Structure 1
Amino acid sequence: MHLNFSPLLSATLLLGLAAGAARAQTTPTIARPSATLTVAEDAGSVSIPLSITNPGTVASTVQVAVQALGTATAGQDYTYAITQTVTFPAGATGTQTLTIPILDDALAEETEYFVVRLLNPTNATVSATANDILVYIKDNDTPAPARANNLTLGLVQSYQTATPFSGNTQINSAEIAAFDPTTKRLYVANSIGGKLEILNLANPAAIAAVASIDIKSYGGLNSVAVRNGLVACAIENSNPQQNGSVVFFDQNGAFQKQVTVGAMPDMITFSPDGRYVLTANEGEPNAAYTTDPEGSVSVIDISGGIAGLAQANVSTATFTAFNSQAAALRAQGIRIYGGLAASPSTVAQDLEPEYIAVSANSQTAYITLQENNAIAVLDLATKQITALRPVGYTDHTQPGRSLDASDRTTEVLMANWPIKGMRQPDAINLVEVNGTSYLLTANEGDSRDYSGFSEVVRLGANGYALDATAFPNASLLKQETVLGRLNVTNKLGDTDGDGDFDEIYAYGGRSFSIYNAATGAEVYDSGNLLERVTAADATYGAIFNASNGFEAPVRKNRSDDKGPEPEGVTTGRIGNNLYAFVSMERVGGVMVFNINNPAAPVLETYANNRSLTTTTGDLGPEGIVFISAADSPTGQPLLLLANEVSSTIAVYSLQANTPTAARPGQGAEPLAAYPNPSQGAPVRLSRAVSGTLHDLAGRPVRHLRATDRLDTSGLAAGVYLLRADDGAATKLIVN
């Protein structure tokens, strides 16, 4: 049969086919290669390959512009003067490469970054949640932190107190240790095994077991202290929310007395004069958060001797007097946030004492309130809490306060971010220098994470919404190679109450701090130094920020949490020098600082003893004990680390060395200035220096002498270079 189409029908059919073809054509999509790229400062340039899918019959374009988020400076760290346009020819597949020059300066800097955004596409689309690219620039001028090496730590022995694991289950531990010089014995709290281990330390190179006392019938062993043959153990109730106890033993582990203290006594110590035994009663809630005992500090007066000790000798200081001050405490920076929505905790319930330091005159105790980011002050004469002090937050935007925030990046990227670190100190130590008392804190960090209440959330989680005004690059920040993996709190940071977060708060300061004990004023904070030391260590840099568990160490797997987690801190004098010893629970080991000047500690050395590939060695140092030469069984100062996970006691000998004079500029600590750029206001330096500020022509424009302030008033807008007399340098931009 012959079919004859009319002209009108043919035209209609052709138009329909054309419309169908148009509907089938998919709009081209332009995409970034990844959320982040890393380039070395001396690489010359960074290449950003942009790809297109479903190319069209006409050319597609996209503009690429620098964003405000970033710590690198255009014209100083990279070259990108104006918005650029990338064109994809019609029908072309594959990639178009944007090349950005990277400038290699001679300044010691932290990892810097800049962000470019894909925007205003033509004949194409770009994902609104995957349009930013962050470029990390790794500095090649920053030296490893200088070590004075005036003190040598020599490992004498790592003694296994008990078998730590059965398969993958931990069955024993060595959490806290206490040394008695009168008996040369060491008492170790085996919390997981429920035992008090008694060791003979007469020969530190050949430690011998004396006895293992089963504590489980009394409750759960949390801590131990000893003085002149009297051993005091902090015991939590079998129902942890009920009052706990202190059980006293003689030097051989024979029971002496038992008294009741507050709920969950977590740490115990003797006052320097031996009159008091104090416990920090943490008072944690149950898992459902339906029972929340009050935190407290118990003071046991043993001045009358252990034989006559009775419950009447126990005073427990509570925080109930602060219950009406919740709002004022929060405004000061003290975290009061626990409890369920229907029954929020009182201040007394919310405060959780963690660790105690007592003044040399035995008149005042200072107690860390870890989850609350605060320190309490206790008058031992009246047995009353007299003050609550916030310990402050670490501003990670500031020089010297950078952190490695992701476990998904291959390299260590110590960068500044719009994050505040809740210091949340664990251990605290008190020391006197030239008549002034100072408090040292190990800023480990901790969270509340129960079945009925949890504040822990990853920054990249869908339920953690960042305020669009405060964080216009929120989608980028939530990427796993940026900040998406970082654990943060969902109980702080929503400043306007609208349900999203205007500020980001992460756990721990990753540092140690020094405060004036009388005033609470901050004297020093180590900032990023602990992470920098371990990252640059010739041996243990291989397991930077690794965890301390049964599995083999994995580099950087704690970067998204609290980093090295400094947990223990103590001090000791050797000759004319005063030293601080800071243990790091995760990566392990101990750092030593000379603190003759508490405002400017000097890094001496770092020692560690764990395998880089297996689970052997010392894992999870928590308790830390300094033994002076006068008390040491060898006549030489010793340092002991109680390693909770490996159930080992590491004994180090301490040997003072003859200092070697450094050449000018050798090992100079990096120098930074902030705010930078400056708006003509005074600029603060990361440390006090003497030096000269030069303009780009090399002309001196300001002279500094032993100051951490720089007056920029009257300076013309531009870039300046500050050179310190010790060889350090930093750039400064004045707008």
Structure 2
Amino acid sequence: MRQTLLAGGRLGLVLLALQAAPVVAQSVRFTAATAIANESAGTISIPVAITNSGAASTVQVALVTNLGTATQGTDFTYPATQTLYFPAETTVNQTLTIPLTDDVLAEGAEYFTLRLQNPTNATLTAGSTEVLVYIRDNDTQAPTQTRNLTLNRLGSYQNGAAGTNSAEIVAHDPTTQRLYVANSVGGKLDILSLANPAVITSVASINIASYGGINSVAVRNGVVACAIENADPQQNGSVVFFDQNGAFLKQVTVGALPDMITFSPNGQLIVTANEGEPKTDYSVDPEGSVSVIDFSGGIAGVTQASVTTVGFAGYNSQAASLRAAGVRLYGGTSASPSSVAQDLEPEYVAVSADSRTAYITLQENNAIATLDLTTRQFTSLRTVGYQDHSQAGFALDASDQTPEILMANWPIRGMRQPDAIAAFEVAGQRYLLTANEGDAREYNALNEINRISESAYVLDPTVFPNAALLKNAQVLGRLNVTNKLGDTDGDGDFDEIYALGGRSFSVYNASTGALVHDSGDLLERVTSTDPTYGAIFNASNTTGNPSRKNRSDDKGPEPEGITTGTIRDTVYAFVSLERIGGVAVFNVNDPGQPKLVQYVNNRSTTTGTGDQGPEGIVFIAPANSPTGQPLLLLANEVSSTVSVYSIQGRGVLSNKAARNAEPLHLYPNPSQGGKVQLSRAVSGTLHDVLGRPVRTLHKAREFETVGLATGVYVLRAEDGASSKLVVR
């Protein structure tokens, strides 16, 4: 009897223990946050897992309608919510099989989203209730390259050891056939001979350290002008002049942190973009500015009185209207915000062919300023606008964590933030080209960068109900974005997502600022489909071995340098890609529809060799070339190399035909009487409207119009160029 009681007592204790133990509910989840399939696969299988087996259970799988670009019934088949059944006592995954349509449309990667809902006898695993399914297109072809021009690399000059030297900016002087290289890492001005473009040789190397830090260089007729930042970068910088051999000539003071320098086409002016960056704690924040140096009397006439530095203080009272117009103004600290003049940071300058107008990119501010070089006054300050990456033609590869290149559309806006700018003219209309690299402010007192996945970057739950999925590393979680734009209602979370850089180049009407063309996702499509360089798509420009896609979560290929060149009757744009490397060439005779000509690169896809980090880019017209053929120079900052490409057209370009490509501009035009300046020395004849010769020129850079009747005239140069002149 006692044993029975003991046994019964033990059984009771066990039953009590079982009743007291917590019951672990069954839980269902997607096994991954993303899935990828080629559209030609026919189907894609999506596994759903269950844990803690118990009673039979079910879960519904619904199509999410607010996060997807693929179309149900066209790209895939999922007509209604489906139910998955899990038998009792099972931990076996259930698989949802979804038919895919292999269409014949060339399109980017598309995606759709599924959600688990309404479970029975189970719960949903938090954070694993949605899956984003990518469909990779198999019909997209590489963008067509017309190849009516061919760039052939003649060689790359190693400008000192990479890492301890650099080749950031290069300038060419046709009077000496020398190159002048801004070696900012080495603190030197390097002088090279281009007499034989295939074998560049060193002439001299000038230590710049005693003047400050070299940022840029320009040259004209043997006079070399260097933009030099102060040893204390927040103080005023300088322009230091050297002769063709590097002997010091003069030095004048300009604004803080001169970052770029250029001569006007007529050689009468020198212009610097003075960035005026703050100290990292914002204890000192100099004003951005543009300095204009009167060089009309040559180097002999240059004194400090020749320098006019123009700031933006006149815009200080317009901060609210500028922000409303799209100009980014956000510098400083909450206790001491920057003024407009302090916030604007000039990056790069382009001067019009008539040397009367300068166009200045304000990269961090996403804007362009226009400066009248006659009055030394700013005449406009305009935003360059934003990309809409949800629209066709503006896709991007947004993650460095996906194994495949997925050029897809997303609810993201891209800040164009142009670096280099160039001006060109077609049919009498002036246009601007910008390389939309992107840049962020990263200081101790102000850091505008967040990854979307960071907890500090809160997406508005109403606008982004799928925020948890978007924050996944294989979706948008790794993408770097700004925290200074997107909180449209001021409640502390982000209603819009703004990424850094446009990953494109743009064309603008110079007079109105209107956008004429944006290349959208073309540069990423060109590089991703390149038979060689697709292997290092969106790789960084670091000196180590390239890592494919490791810049997809940043700014992609980062177009940085841009210039134009005219060959025969065609204007070409050359765009350098700082990260993956190389240069893309476009025919811009129709500025609204540029045509891709060629993409070339000279970087190893397996080792850290070749040309890396192209920044400075120079087109050498045939008349200025040592070979009589057009050339293109790239200054590759990271590899510290200067690469030279010959440019060949279909058929042989004779010297005369090549010279015809050199533009000829007259100014002032119209002329009110007096002297008319020429953009270059010309021998030729000025004809009236009836074709009669009225002036004969011999290697002239100017001529007199006094005595000419009111009317239209045409100057025809011996090399075939011509230009119309209106006399009033």
TM-score by length of 2: 0.88
Aligned to 1:336: 329
Q: Distance in 1 between matches of 2:26 and 2:409?
A: 36
Q: Distance in 2 between matches of 1:271 and 1:454?
A: 36
Shift of 1:123: 1.4
Q: 2:60 corresponds to which letter in structure 1?
A: Q
Q: 1:493 corresponds to which letter in structure 2?
A: G
Kept in 2, the 8 Å contact 1:296–1:353? The answer is: yes
Q: 1:585 corresponds to which letter in structure 2?
A: E
Q: Deviations over 1:38-82 (max 9, x none)?
A: 0001111100011111111x1121111011210000000000011
Q: Distance in 1 between matches of 2:562 and 2:555?
A: 17
**1:402-421 correspondence runs (5 A):** 402-421=395-414
Are residues 1:527 and 2:520 paired?
Answer: yes
Shift of 1:161: 1.2
- Count of equivalent residues: 651
Candidates 57, 60, 64, aligned match of 1:60 = 57
Are residues 1:31 and 2:24 paired?
Answer: no
Q: Deviations over 1:193-222 (max 9, x none)?
A: 000000010110111111000001000000
Q: Distance in 2 between matches of 1:97 and 1:87?
A: 10
Distance change (3 Å), C-alpha of 1:311 and 1:80: same
Q: Distance in 1 between matches of 2:143 and 2:11?
A: 79
Q: Distance in 1 between matches of 2:333 and 2:636?
A: 35
Kept in 2, the 8 Å contact 1:47–1:100? The answer is: yes
Aligned to 2:554: 561
Kept in 2, the 8 Å contact 1:428–1:441? The answer is: yes
Alignment gaps of 5+ in structure 2: 653-728
**1:249-648 correspondence runs (5 A):** 249-648=242-641
Kept in 1, the 8 Å contact 2:362–2:418? The answer is: yes
Q: Deviations over 1:68-119 (max 9, x none)?
A: 2100000000000111111111101121100011111111111100000111
Q: 2:155 corresponds to which letter in structure 1?
A: Q
Candidates 128, 131, 134, aligned match of 1:130 = 128
Kept in 2, the 8 Å contact 1:150–1:658? The answer is: no
Are residues 1:198 and 2:195 paired?
Answer: no
Kept in 2, the 8 Å contact 1:407–1:560? The answer is: yes
Q: 2:228 corresponds to which letter in structure 1?
A: I
Q: 1:67 corresponds to which letter in structure 2?
A: V
Distance change (3 Å), C-alpha of 1:180 and 1:6: closer
Q: Distance in 2 between matches of 1:475 and 1:250?
A: 61
For 2:124, what is the secondary structure of its paired residue?
Answer: coil
Are residues 1:93 and 2:86 paired?
Answer: no
Q: 1:253 corresponds to which letter in structure 2?
A: G
Aligned to 1:2: 2
**1:166-185 correspondence runs (5 A):** 170-185=163-178
Shift of 1:451: 2.0
Candidates 640, 648, 656, aligned match of 2:649 = 656
Shift of 1:3: 5.6
Shift of 1:574: 1.1
Shift of 1:129: 2.3
Q: 1:123 corresponds to which letter in structure 2?
A: N
Kept in 1, the 8 Å contact 2:543–2:609? The answer is: no
Kept in 1, the 8 Å contact 2:31–2:128? The answer is: no
Q: Distance in 2 between matches of 1:455 and 1:290?
A: 18
**1:133-144 correspondence runs (5 A):** 133-144=131-142
Q: 2:129 corresponds to which letter in structure 1?
A: N
Kept in 2, the 8 Å contact 1:547–1:554? The answer is: yes
Candidates 109, 112, 130, aligned match of 1:111 = 109
Shift of 1:132: 0.8
Q: Distance in 1 between matches of 2:119 and 2:601?
A: 54
Q: Deviations over 1:590-630 (max 9, x none)?
A: 00001111111110100000111111100000000000111
Aligned to 1:48: 46
Aligned to 1:161: 159
Q: 1:2 corresponds to which letter in structure 2?
A: R
Kept in 1, the 8 Å contact 2:415–2:500? The answer is: yes
Shift of 1:8: 12
Distance change (3 Å), C-alpha of 1:524 and 1:658: farther
Q: 1:16 corresponds to which letter in structure 2?
A: L
For 1:339, what is the secondary structure of its paired residue?
Answer: coil
Aligned to 1:19: 19
Shift of 1:13: 5.2
Q: Distance in 2 between matches of 1:154 and 1:513?
A: 26
Shift of 1:18: 4.2
Q: 2:43 corresponds to which letter in structure 1?
A: S
Kept in 2, the 8 Å contact 1:426–1:443? The answer is: yes
Aligned to 1:120: 118
Distance change (3 Å), C-alpha of 1:6 and 1:387: same
Shift of 1:332: 0.7
For 2:106, what is the secondary structure of its paired residue?
Answer: coil
Distance change (3 Å), C-alpha of 1:6 and 1:408: closer
Alignment gaps of 5+ in structure 1: 165-169, 660-735
Kept in 2, the 8 Å contact 1:130–1:475? The answer is: no
Q: Distance in 1 between matches of 2:638 and 2:412?
A: 31
For 2:93, what is the secondary structure of its paired residue?
Answer: strand
Identical counterparts, % of pairs? 67
Aligned to 2:143: 145
Are residues 1:244 and 2:237 paired?
Answer: yes
Shift of 1:311: 1.0
Q: Distance in 2 between matches of 1:305 and 1:107?
A: 60
Q: Distance in 1 between matches of 2:6 and 2:240?
A: 107
Shift of 1:188: 0.3
Aligned to 1:707: none
Shift of 1:225: 0.3
Shift of 1:658: 5.8
Aligned to 2:660: none
Q: Distance in 2 between matches of 1:555 and 1:203?
A: 36
Kept in 2, the 8 Å contact 1:160–1:648? The answer is: yes
For 2:206, what is the secondary structure of its paired residue?
Answer: strand
Q: Distance in 1 between matches of 2:237 and 2:321?
A: 31
Q: 1:639 corresponds to which letter in structure 2?
A: L
Q: 1:388 corresponds to which letter in structure 2?
A: L
RMSD after superposition = 1.6
Shift of 1:142: 1.2
Q: Distance in 2 between matches of 1:625 and 1:302?
A: 22
Kept in 1, the 8 Å contact 2:399–2:552? The answer is: yes
Q: 1:155 corresponds to which letter in structure 2?
A: R
Q: Deviations over 1:611-655 (max 9, x none)?
A: 111111000000000001111000110000000001101100000
Q: Deviations over 1:646-682 (max 9, x none)?
A: 11011000000269xxxxxxxxxxxxxxxxxxxxxxx
Shift of 1:15: 5.7
For 2:622, what is the secondary structure of its paired residue?
Answer: coil
Q: Distance in 1 between matches of 2:554 and 2:634?
A: 23
Shift of 1:308: 3.0
Kept in 2, the 8 Å contact 1:61–1:123? The answer is: yes
